[in-house]
């Protein structure tokens, strides 16, 4: 997968809820996972994904201190220049190419916003 261009990132060693572990265990999970993957791939790994999507500012800070460049959450949506690199949103993969294009272009968010406003009885102008 790596040779085919699929990005491989770290996800911890034992998949704990990171907001519930000690600082020492958190550091160990972050560092050992990355080191294990790097030894297999023979290259640097600097992307991280929070197990179960659980994180807070303390966990995000430790991810940054551990040398990762960014981390993804399970929060849906697009990112912009103001998004934290350690709390990136994601777009779910979709088997329907047209829907995937709409999701990644921002069209789905605009559509949801429009229908959300209309659902509250406010007319768009």
Per CATH, the homologous superfamily of domain 1-90 is Glycoside hydrolase/deacetylase (3.20.20.370)
pLDDT given for residue 94 in this prediction: 66
pLDDT given for residue 122 in this prediction: 40
Q: For each successive 10 residues of the chain (125 residues), what is the average pLDDT?
A: 90 96 97 96 96 96 97 91 95 71 69 58 40
pLDDT given for residue 110 in this prediction: 72
In 3D space, the residue among 98, 97, 68, 99 whose CA is nearest the CA of residue 85 turns out to be 68
The three-class DSSP label of residue 74 is: strand
pLDDT given for residue 90 in this prediction: 87
Q: Specify the domain boundaries for CATH 3.20.20.370 within the chain.
A: 1-90
pLDDT given for residue 21 in this prediction: 97
Its pTM stands at 0.75
């Amino acid at each position: 997968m790596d040779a085919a261009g699929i990005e491989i990132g770290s996800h911890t060693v034992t998949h704990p809820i990171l907001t519930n572990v000690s600082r020492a265990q958190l550091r160990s999970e972050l560092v050992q996972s990355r080191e294990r993957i790097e030894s297999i791939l023979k290259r640097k790994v600097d992307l991280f994904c929070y197990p179960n999507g659980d994180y807070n500012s303390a966990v995000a800070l430790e991810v940054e201190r551990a040398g990762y460049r960014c981390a993804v959450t399970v929060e849906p949506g697009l990112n912009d220049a103001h998004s934290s690199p350690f709390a990136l949103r994601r777009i779910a993969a979709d088997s329907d190419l047209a829907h995937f294009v709409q999701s990644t272009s921002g069209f789905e968010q605009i559509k949801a916003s429009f229908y959300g406003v209309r659902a509250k009885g406010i007319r768009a102008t």
